[in-house]
Amino acid sequence: MPRAKLRLSVPDAVWIHDISVDHPAVTFQVVATLSSEDNGIALLKVRTADPLPILTEIRERDDITDFDLLWKRDNVTMIQIETTNPLLLFPILKAGVPLQTPFEISDGTAVWVITTSSERLSALGTRLDQAGIEFAIEYVHNEPPDPAEQLLTDRQREVLLAAAAQGYYETPRRITLTELSNSLDIAKATGSDVLHRAEGKILTWFIEEYLSSSAALV
């Protein structure tokens, strides 16, 4: 699954373009977003020693319909805003790509890191082009497979996680193998076999990783 980093030019029509360009030394970190075809809501951290002029400019924008100052600590101010013009988010919404947060905007440029399928990544590029949003792809990496997903079967993962959650591996144990198996509605022999196989795979994986790491240091 591709993981890509994109650098986008924020459209002139978007409120944060003008404000970030007017204050190029200030970093705006988008902590969370919620958008639709009609409006967009964002939690935003403004990193600057003197946020008052910037907050005033944001409040006075015609396309900002709601503004809340949430807190200020040292050089960071958290605000929540609602805008009628979330143009930057339309392409990612229409392409069906989850937008990872936080992401930063400074001096008219936004930086996104996204993880999605090749098809949706291509669709996002098309949507950005259609919206007239200039962007550059800094890299595209294939995410390595999750060892936990490949190491164990679904049943082994289910039983192992249940055992850990119910205190089977605590000292002293909070639950017996019989009680654990009953909670999963399986026979004790089945529970024992599944746990033994899962533990064996994890132990083998750990030893191989340890030996590999040790060899790399020699």
pTM score, whole prediction: 0.64
Taking residues 188-199, report their average pLDDT: 92
Q: Which of 142, 172, 194 is the last residue of a domain?
A: 142
Confidence of residue 5 (pLDDT cuts 50, 70, 90): very high
Q: Which of 112, 142, 172 is the last residue of a domain?
A: 142
pLDDT per residue as tens digits for the range 58-102:
999 999 999 999 999 889 999 999 999 888 999 999 999 988 889
| Torsion, Cα of 70, 75, 81, 87 (10° steps) | -160
The pLDDT assigned to 148 comes to 57
Residue 157 and residue 62 share a domain: no
Average the pLDDT over each of 10-24, 112-126, 197-211 and give the range with the smallest value: 197-211
* 23 secondary structure, DSSP code: S
Residue 31 and residue 18 share a domain: yes
Domain count, the chain: 2
End-to-end CA distance of the chain: give it in Å, rounded.
33
